[in-house]
Structure 1
Amino acid sequence: MKTKITLNIDEVEKSSKIFHALASPARLKILQLIEDKPLNISKISTLMNIPMSSTALAINILEDAGLVITTSSPGLRGSQKLCALKTDSIYLQIKKNELPGENTNVIIEQIPIGNYFDFSVEPPCGIVTSDGFISAEDSVYGFYAPEHSFAQLLWLTRGFVEYRFPTYRLKNYPNMKSIEFSFELCSEAPGYCNDWKSDIAVYFNGTHIGFVHSLGDFGNRRGLLNPDWWDHNNTQYGLIHSILITATGTLIDDQPVSDFNLNSLNIGTENSINLRLAVDSTSHYKGGMNLFGEKFGDYSQNIRMKAIY
């Protein structure tokens, strides 16, 4: 999921860079081109009908302003720079304490993927930080190691990971409108396989809600955030999936799946909302799971809860 940029009018240098980057029709067009998917500089240059040098300069300005993120990807003639949109919204605060998105109707919590409360995994499986493997590759031992809190990618073929989101802030707002959970995820195949289906079971507080349907274990290009040491033959990136709980039921990736609703969470009496992601006996396609942190894959986010009241 793309990040939000928050500007204060007093942050002159930061604001100036962004305003300068947005002050060019050509640079605005580039942002439109990469809105839905990353493109390399050559492709952008062709679509814009401008020289490669001009495209590269425009990308550098956009990247310096924090609007795009670039990464090197193998190409037919050496490496190529892949460009992706880093943010989808910019808020400018002119008058103090009146910043959109920091009002009283949204609560956002993020839990790093390594901060699971419970788990059960079967090899092949593994867990890594942005610096390297925790324990041996395809071993369960890394999931027990203290370093698991710093994990940026974990994978399993069978089993689950469970996260607990505290409810103490939510209890103050009994008229909750919705709670959404989102994360970057894909299947888990040997190496990678773009056509490798997996049904990841979703549980809230022990109740099976439905499935996240993953279409593949994606590796046809490098993940935009992956560290240099990560082998290009491994899983590279996932897709953002969302689970939305409303007053009437639950939707997974915008599809209604269950009557499980906000009242079912028992926020008033429970201390946490327990989210479990599993590949288990209920899954039709048992194709494993990769779960990405904020420094792996394509999206700079952890497991995110957004509550609107």
Structure 2
Amino acid sequence: MKKLPLTFKDMLPINKALANQTRIEILHLLSEKPHNVNELAEKLNLPFSTTASHVNKLEEVDLIITELVPGRGTQKVSAINYDRIVIDLFNNEEQTGGYELTMNVDIGDFLDCYAVPHCGIVGEDAYIGAQDDPRAFFEPERKYAELIYFADGYIEYKLPNRIPYGHKAKEIHFSAELCSEAPNYKLDWPSDLTLAINDQETGTWTSPGDFGGERGSLTPDWWRTNLTQYGLLKQWKVNAEGSFIDNEKVSDVTIDDLHLSELPYIAFKIGIKDDAVNKGGMNLFGKKFGNYEQGIEVHIKYE
């Protein structure tokens, strides 16, 4: 069965075909299983010729398909052609800017992780679980995280794929506040942070250090200033031309390589690769830590 979007030009003939109670009942019967015209006529208590006429109208707009199948002789059997119809109430030819989805992700809503001490999860008012204990990353309260840090490892998220059926992704944009992770803090402490989307590496940013000593604008007062305070807002982007970090091309991986139209989810993982040159850990900031009032933001442009 198909799941396709239908255009503005498709609306009138389809609406005409559906503006009949008998044809609605035929679609309902065919949604259960294929039928031939005799079977439909019998269930609807209608003459064969009347039923055949209704079937023909549904065939004309591709709401059903009819095939010749062997049986008691060759017979025509009809089946439903769509299990979902989406009609866009606009003229596609007049659209120039395309469409955009925005998803705001709390940093604690990760699906998987690997954390090497020193590590921890911090809420707005206190640590979540024990410090330097990777088991804290699996506490139910992790969803309230406002700061996540580890000396080595990664963190992975999966989002629902909300790109409408039949539409094609043009660009995906990912932003988050990040920095390296050193004991306490250290301004000169490089770390190679790599973002992968649907298992495709899209680029590595080398964080120059772990920033502290000056309180982040959102960092709560109880958090000591000799600890990490804020990060830098980094932006990854993938489109038809390749992958970019802060608008500088870093990879030939394109939007088609991410297979965004084929999967029911969008997975992204950020962390330190096993073969990273600079393994200086990672801090990931939420809405109430650091300098930027956001968690992870994902924007998807599609057409």
- Distance (Å, rounded) in 1 between the aligned partners of 2:166 and 2:221: 44
> What amino acid maps onto 2:294 in structure 1?
Q
SS at match of 1:224: coil
> What amino acid maps onto 1:181 in structure 2?
F
| Aligned positions of 1:152-171 closer than 5 A | 152-167=146-161, 169-171=162-164
1:126 pairs, out of 116, 120, 138, with: 120
Q: Is residue 227 from structure 1 mapped to residue 220 from structure 2 by the alignment?
A: yes
- Distance (Å, rounded) in 1 between the aligned partners of 2:166 and 2:241: 17
Which residue of the partner structure matches residue 138 of structure 1?
132
Q: Is residue 147 from structure 1 mapped to residue 154 from structure 2 by the alignment?
A: no
1:171–1:267 Cα contact (<8 Å) kept: no
Q: Offset of 1:104 from its aligned partner? A: 6.9
2:202–2:238 Cα contact (<8 Å) kept: no
> What amino acid maps onto 1:126 in structure 2?
G
Q: Is residue 110 from structure 1 mapped to residue 104 from structure 2 by the alignment?
A: yes
Which residue of the partner structure matches residue 194 of structure 1?
187
- Distance (Å, rounded) in 1 between the aligned partners of 2:262 and 2:169: 15
- Distance (Å, rounded) in 2 between the aligned partners of 1:200 and 1:183: 12
- Distance (Å, rounded) in 1 between the aligned partners of 2:293 and 2:166: 29
SS at match of 2:183: coil
Normalising by the residue count of structure 2, what TM-score does the alignment of the two structures yield?
Answer: 0.65
Q: Which moved more, 1:260-269 or 1:242-251?
A: 260-269
Q: Offset of 1:173 from its aligned partner? A: 6.2
Which residue of the partner structure matches residue 72 of structure 1?
none
- Distance (Å, rounded) in 2 between the aligned partners of 1:199 and 1:298: 21
> What amino acid maps onto 2:118 in structure 1?
P
> What amino acid maps onto 1:152 in structure 2?
E
Which residue of the partner structure matches residue 80 of structure 1?
none
Which structure 2 segments of 5+ residues have no match?
1-96
Could you list the structure 1 runs, at least 4 aligned residues long, displaced by more than 4 angstroms after superposition.
none
- Distance (Å, rounded) in 2 between the aligned partners of 1:289 and 1:241: 13
Q: Offset of 1:177 from its aligned partner? A: 2.6
| Aligned positions of 1:16-165 closer than 5 A | 105-165=99-159
1:163–1:276 Cα contact (<8 Å) kept: yes
1:210–1:257 Cα contact (<8 Å) kept: yes
Larger radius of gyration: 2
Q: Offset of 1:257 from its aligned partner? A: 1.6
SS at match of 2:164: helix
Which residue of the partner structure matches residue 287 of structure 1?
280
Which residue of the partner structure matches residue 252 of structure 2?
259
* Percentage of pairs with the same residue: 40
Which residue of the partner structure matches residue 58 of structure 1?
none
> What amino acid maps onto 1:125 in structure 2?
C
SS at match of 2:261: coil
2:168–2:261 Cα contact (<8 Å) kept: no
Q: Is residue 250 from structure 1 mapped to residue 249 from structure 2 by the alignment?
A: no
Q: Offset of 1:174 from its aligned partner? A: 2.5
- Distance (Å, rounded) in 2 between the aligned partners of 1:106 and 1:197: 34
Q: Offset of 1:109 from its aligned partner? A: 0.2
SS at match of 1:170: coil
Change (3 A) 1:294 1:173: farther
SS at match of 1:143: helix
> What amino acid maps onto 1:158 in structure 2?
D
Q: Offset of 1:247 from its aligned partner? A: 1.2
Which structure 1 segments of 5+ residues have no match?
1-102
2:200–2:258 Cα contact (<8 Å) kept: no
- Distance (Å, rounded) in 2 between the aligned partners of 1:113 and 1:227: 17
SS at match of 1:148: helix
SS at match of 1:142: helix
Q: Offset of 1:237 from its aligned partner? A: 0.1
Which residue of the partner structure matches residue 174 of structure 1?
167
Q: How many residues align?
A: 206
1:201–1:282 Cα contact (<8 Å) kept: no
